[in-house]
Structure 1
Amino acid sequence: MATDLHRPVSHGAAGAAPGPEAVRVAGLTRSFGGRPVIDGLDLTLRAGEFTALLGRSGCGKSTLLRVLGGLDREIEGTVLVPDRRAVAFQAPRLMPWKRVWRNVLLGLPGRSERAVAERALEEVGLRHRSGAWPKTLSGGEAQRASLARALVREPDLLLLDEPFGALDALTRITAQRLVAELWQRRGCAVLLVTHDVDEALLLADRALVMRDGVIAHDTPVELARPREVGDPDFTALRSRLLAELGVGEQATAEAA
């Protein structure tokens, strides 16, 4: 099957209804050792839409994200994505021998000046640390530097692979709010891979559940912003997603 890993998209306005397609995937299959981890998957993401992707460990979420980011091309099927896209991972992946601003520009085509990096760092509240060495950053600061490195590419599609997973609870809340603000300001399409149902519902317009190599459940998150975890509509949608993930309320209560 043909594979196309680039497609221009129109920009969506922040806070507006989702625009035209930002991503279209049809019949995507990715196998490892003859075993398909992604198996004939179809998916459409719209410009300006914030989508959360949930699923059990090993279901193929991160593999799908890597394919959309152009980091894995050993696939079958059709993948249409914007030329301008960026990925932020759970680990910030900063080069310890490069100062923060140089890390932000790492891999950026052409020759960019420090001012370009500092504008992105300003957006994530980290400009004052632009000349620091990565080892001097806190976990939250390192993750913000990673986000700046993604934003400096002016992406039409921002791919986030559990970027808050290694943060403590308070820093995680701050980082979630920052990502929500950046998305509303930038208006790009966002795909967030997460294990956290509450995180998905706090941030996303749409929640997907991946199972057996395909998108098994797709639901809009029609909750007013800002959102509260204790809201009855939030709780009801949370219960439905947990059921799709095979997590019963009793197991959830015991885990808490």
Structure 2
Amino acid sequence: MATDIHGPVEGPVVRVEGLSRSFDGRPVIDDLDLALRPGEFTALLGRSGCGKSTLLRVLAGLDREIAGTLLVPKRRAVAFQAPRLMPWKRVWRNVLLGLPGRPERAVAESALEEVGLSHRSGAWPKTLSGGEAQRASLARALVREPDLLLLDEPFGALDALTRIKAQRLVAELWQRRGCAVLLVTHDVEEALLLADRALVMRDGVIAYDTPVDLPRPRDAGDPGFIALRTRLLAELGVDAVPSAA
């Protein structure tokens, strides 16, 4: 039986011990252990179907059909690949969606300004670009003042240039806020550009765990970056493709 503890953030901000989750008798997470430290940016990689998003949903409190022990901070927020904005609510109201009490519009405006979207506060979601919608989703997460920010492939549907801008925004927000971040991604380069720790999930457990001890801002052509990229690709069962000269 799972123990869901909403405790203080001294020590690990997340502690998972013996976590298991099955679907129709098939284990997707199988006796998994994991600890995340306060302020740490962690990237979680793995092949499709390995359980990455399931683990994130468990940490977010969206999936409780689990066994094991789970310690997470009470203040946590999640942003998905699809922004999931309510089309009948203006952007600022979407940002406040789900917050307890009756928060003022100024709360949403402050978060929208932080993500560079204050000028679209009163817009309808259908008028936003993909990048703008994702920034609105991030603002909705930030108003919860999370100690743990969970990101489930939030850049996957964006075009290349918008994706780069969104990655930089998330890096800036993390450095400013100082919360722990867990980013689920398929993109090894994205993981190495953003995170200071990379995990590879395989067969329902964390199969590989490495620090990303590279100076920021990071250069994908740096030898250390290339070496880490090659190792992570190998852990994912992919042969690295040599960079063009």
TM-score range, shorter chain: over 0.9
Q: Is contact 1:5–1:70 with CA below 8 Å preserved after alignment?
A: no
Q: Secondary structure at the match of 1:235?
A: helix
Determine if contact 1:205/1:221 at 8 Å carries over to the other structure. yes
Equivalent position to 2:224, from 233, 237, 244: 233
In the alignment, the residues of structure 2 paired with residue 203 and residue 108 of structure 1 have an alpha-carbon distance, to the nearest angstrom, of 28
Q: Within 5 Å, which residues of 2 pair with 1:62-141? A: 62-141=53-132
Residues 41-80 of structure 1: pairs in structure 2 closer than 5 A: 41-80=32-71
Letter in 2 for 1:58: G
Q: State yes or no: 1:29 paired with 2:33.
A: no
Paired amino acid for 2:160: A
Is this contact kept in 1: 2:2–2:66, CA < 8 A? no
The equivalent of 2:198 in structure 1 is 207
Aligned match of 1:15: none
Q: Hey, what does 1:198 align to over in structure 2?
A: 189
Letter paired with 2:67: E
Q: Which runs of 5+ in 1 are unaligned?
A: 11-19
Report the CA distance between 1:7 and its aligned residue.
2.1
Q: Are the equivalent residues in 2 in contact too, given 1:183–1:190 (CA < 8 A)? A: yes
Query: 2:102 and 2:29 mapped to 1: Cα distance?
Result: 37
Give 1:253 deviation, angstroms.
5.6
Q: Which residue of the partner structure matches residue 177 of structure 2?
A: 186
- TM-score, length-normalised on structure 1? 0.93
Q: Please give the per-residue CA displacement for 1:159-217, whole angstroms capped at 9, x wherever unaligned.
A: 00000000000000000000000000000000000000000000001000000000000
Q: For residue 210 of structure 2, give the secondary structure of its aligned residue in structure 1.
A: strand
The CA RMSD over aligned residues, in Å, is: 1.1
Distance 1:28 1:59 in 2: 14
Structure 2 spans left out of the alignment, 5+ residues: none
Q: Distance in 2 between matches of 1:5 and 1:86?
A: 16
Runs (4+) of structure 1 moved beyond 4 Å?
none
**What amino acid is the match of 2:7?**
R
Q: Is residue 18 of structure 2 the alignment partner of residue 9 of structure 1?
A: no
Aligned with 2:136 (options 145, 163, 166): 145
Q: CA deviation at 1:5?
A: 4.3
SS at match of 1:67: helix
Aligned-pair identity in percent equals: 86
Q: Return the alpha-carbon distance in structure 1 between the equivalents of residues 101 and 14 of structure 2.
A: 26
1:42, distance to aligned residue in structure 2 (A): 0.1
Deviation at 1:2, TM superposition (A): 3.8
Separation (CA, whole Å) in 2 of partners of 1:206 and 1:8: 22
**2:76 and 2:144 in contact (8 A); partners too:** yes
SS in 2 for 1:180: helix
Q: Matched residue of 1:132: which SS?
A: coil
Name 1:14's counterpart in structure 2: none
**TM-score, L = length of structure 2:** 0.97
The answer to whether the 8 Å contact 1:99/1:134 transfers is: yes
Contact preservation (8 Å) 2:147, 2:180 = yes
